[in-house]
Structures are given as C-alpha cells and as structure tokens.
Amino acid sequence: MFAPAARSLLATSVRASANPKNAFNKVYGSARTVVTVKTVKYTATARAQGAGRNGTVKSGNLDLKLASPKELGGDGKGENPEQLLAMGYSACFLGAVQLLAKKQGKEEMAKAAQIVANVSLGESAEKPGFGLTVDIQAVGIDEELAQAAHEFCPFSRALTQGAVVNVSVSK
C-alpha cells in the first residue's frame, strides 16, 4: 500500500515568482526551482466575498456558502477552503493516475482507483499563523503508479515544488 505522503505548506509564505529573490527564498534562504506555466490551457476563476470563511465562494455553476468548521469555532453549516482543496487535489491526482496508467499499461488497475486527500489546517510550527498538511492515500493502485502520479499531478507539483503566485489589487 502506498504510504500517505505528508507535505507541509506554510500559508504565510508567498511564492511570488521564479525569481531567486522571491518570498520563498527570503523565508528559507535558498534558491528553489518553481514550476512555471509555458502555455495556459485553462483558467478557473473563483470569487470569495462576505465574511471570509463565513461568506460565499462562486466558480462557474458552483456557488457555495462557506462556514468555519466546528473545530475552528464555527457552526460547520457550510463548506470550507480545506474541503475545496481536498476535493480539487483528489480529483487532479486521480486524473494523473488514470493518464499515467495508460502509459504504464495499468489501465485495469486505475479503473477502480480512488484517491483520498486529507487537508489539515493548524498552527504553524515555524512562524505565526497557520499551515497546511496534505495526506494523499491512493487506493487500488501500486506504489510505482502512485509515485508517478504524485510527480506528474499539478497540485502535487504546486505544493511540493512551488508555483508562481501573483497578487494584485484592484478597485
């Protein structure tokens, strides 16, 4: 069985660009190759508004009421950002499994595969604020395919290798 891969990402560290002077390097003091996009194939847009974790978020036909989970002092009567990340990550990872299974001749194995993503939010051990831990469990596939999918999946790459994040302000 594939052992869950635990990856930590500090929510307060912003990887603003692939430039060696980016925020990641200021925080951690070393250059790191950030995965960049050569050609954009698709862009998803979401808009959050209201009271943050207790507001709303909309993307395309998906319109959700957000609510902080009970564990964070909320009423839990809505979705939260960690659930949305877990849903997106598990779907993306499964897509990578299925694509790579074809290349490895393991299509039958991948047909019934399931990906469970656990996204945990907690206090950061390194600095003030929160951090995330992601555990991925690949069910029904072998370790070779799981590792290949982890290396290929854009969500895995973003969380383990970094991604370009541009923050701007508009009126």
Could you tell me what percent of the chain has a pLDDT over 70? 81
Q: Is residue 133 predicted with pLDDT exceeding 50?
A: yes
Strand arrangement, sheet containing 62-65: 47-49, 56-59, 62-65
* Entry field: residues in the chain: 171
Mean pLDDT of 78-92: 98
Place of tokens 């596939």: 141
How far the first Cα of the chain sits from its last, in Å, is: 50
Q: For 130, list phi and psi in degrees, rounded to 5.
A: -110, 160
Q: CA–CA separation, 125 vs 139, rounded Å?
A: 30
H helix runs in the chain, sequence order? 23-28, 81-104, 107-111, 143-152, 154-161
Q: Per-residue pLDDT tens for 21-72?
A: 444 444 444 566 899 999 999 999 999 999 999 999 999 999 999 999 999 9
Could you tell me what percent of the chain has a pLDDT over 90? 81
Average pLDDT, the chain: 85
- Which pTM value belongs to this model? 0.80
pLDDT at residue 33, as a whole number: 80
Mean pLDDT of 99-126: 96
User: Sorting pLDDT into bands at 50, 70 and 90, what band is 9?
Assistant: very low
Tokens of 81: 């950002």
Q: Is residue 127 predicted with pLDDT exceeding 80?
A: yes
